Amino acid sequence: METILKKFEYPRGMYYLEITGEVADEFFREGKEKNVRVVVRYPNGETVQRALTRFATGAGYVLVSKNHLKALGSEIGGEVTIGIERDRSEFGMKMPEVLSELLRQHPAADRTFKRLTDGVKRSMIYRVSSAKTTAMQIKRTAIILENLKAGKTKVPELISSEKESVATPVRKKRKPNGAMHR
């Protein structure tokens, strides 16, 4: 389909591809959904998983990260040919193997994970998959699992460890004569 690359002026100047109302209607059949997970195929063949969101006008849009602008091969206001289809994956993004395996090994954490909203699940998946090394993926997954087992369900709670939440001790200052302040 043909679309146009645009940029929101407010609030953050994000880039997006506008999807016609006619095409958006195919994805929003029930009319109750705020957004629908889709797979977008860029002109260079790269595919990305995104949310298709509706404007009040009935048209839709898909956000484009700065990293993907080059893959579109267009300037703001330029036409782009893309493919778009409903994302049929379970989470709307690829589940990292380390997270999947460790959830399987920890049933209590897995039960809590399954009760999370889809958006929070995607946030946890992204948190793990964005790590550059397997060791860091394991570390992030371990923190998330401990927090899931503790029944935490909010993103900030799930991604922070006890070590990170403990305040750093304040160093005592010395008096000019070398004695410690009390």
Q: What's the per-residue H, E or C state across 42-95?
A: CCCCCEEEEEEEECCCCCEEEEECHHHHHHHCCCCCCEEECEEEECCCCCCCCC
User: Residue 104 above 80 pLDDT?
Assistant: yes
Whether the pLDDT of residue 168 is over 70: the answer is: no
Question: In the chain, where does the domain assigned CATH 2.40.30 lie?
Answer: 2-86
Which residue did the predictor score with more confidence, 46 or 10?
46
Strand order in the sheet with 83-86: 79-81, 2-7, 15-19, 60-64, 47-54, 35-41, 83-86
Res 147: pLDDT = 95
Arithmetic mean of pLDDT over the chain? 87
- Say yes or no: domain 2-86 is CATH 2.40.30: yes
pTM over 0.85: no
9: pLDDT confidence band, cut at 50, 70 and 90?
confident
Residues 101-108 have a mean pLDDT of 95
Residue showing tokens 């790269």: 46
pLDDT above 70 coverage of the chain, percent: 86
| Residue 93 confidence class, pLDDT cut points 50, 70, 90 | confident
**Distance (Å, rounded) from C-alpha 88 to C-alpha 35?**
14
